[in-house]
Amino acid sequence: MSHAMPRWFVAAKYVVYFLLTINAFLFLREESLALEHTFSTGMSLSDYIQVFSATIDTTAWVILLLLFELETYQLPDEVIKGWVKRALHGIRAFCYLFIVYALYGYIVELQSMFNITSLEVADACALIGGEWSYMLQLDEYAVLDASNCVAVGEQFWQYNGFNIIVDRDMLEMGRWLAWTDVINAAAWILVVLVLEFDVRLQLKGAYSGRLLRINQLIKLVLYSTLLAAAIYWWIDGDFLDFWDAFLWLFAFVFIESNLFAWQAETQAAEEASANQ
């Protein structure tokens, strides 16, 4: 395809793609550190999905993003046929499996935020020496000791199955952030389903009219939801979550630009053919 676009635009696009790849490693590091306070004694497959949901999600999305880049910008229409088309769709289906699995991980993590038990102790400092951790933020913990036990609120709970305590403020914030993770992941799955529909319509030469307007309206609602999630992470969440959400919105602006340029190129070719 390789639509004519300014060099700075193409360069910015690939810088964003590279930064998103780096984010996958940053999430892996963050979740590996959290693992020291959660499933330190052993894990099942479902536990790995819960703990490393952001890493799995981001990695699968990066691969998916590059596939969309190939199909909407790099590869000519006549190449996207036969085994090439089947390979692209097969790899995408594999990525979707991991993306849906990551959504499941976010849902399990949200459920864990409600699976708590009140502790019958006078204050958190009474737990020092018992290998307890204190929740600082969602997926971020610290070993409970004399320097931080006084920061724990008067009312606190234990996450069932873990030696982790959380006070009222952190529990409320953690639940909101966990809900944001779930909503954000679900919205992105819907975005990519609409994009799949867009690509298929474009390959068939039917990406116009009422279907185009309906798709644009649906994507406006979904992208607005994703922007709201990014703003919430900026205000009350983790910087890495905000930075990642911000980059992904930029990345899909580029994919949408590819689609618009692809559509314009197809229409121009059809008009030129009709005028001959």
Task: Specify the pLDDT at position 215.
Answer: 81
Task: Specify the pLDDT at position 187.
Answer: 95
Task: Specify the pLDDT at position 110.
Answer: 92
Task: Specify the pLDDT at position 7.
Answer: 79
Task: Specify the pLDDT at position 183.
Answer: 95
Task: Specify the pLDDT at position 257.
Answer: 78
> What's the token pair of residue 208?
């116009």
pTM: 0.76
d(CA 272, CA 175) in angstroms, rounded, equals 56
Q: What is residue 140's three-state secondary structure?
A: strand
- Which residue numbers in the chain have pLDDT < 50? none
Tens digit of pLDDT for each residue in 162-188?
A: 888 999 889 999 999 999 999 999 999
d(CA 183, CA 11) in angstroms, rounded, equals 31
Task: Specify the pLDDT at position 213.
Answer: 81
Q: How many CB atoms lie within 10 A of CB 99?
A: 23
Tens digit of pLDDT for each residue in 231-276?
A: 999 988 778 888 888 888 888 888 777 776 666 666 555 555 556 5
Task: Specify the pLDDT at position 276.
Answer: 58
First to last CA, the chain: 23
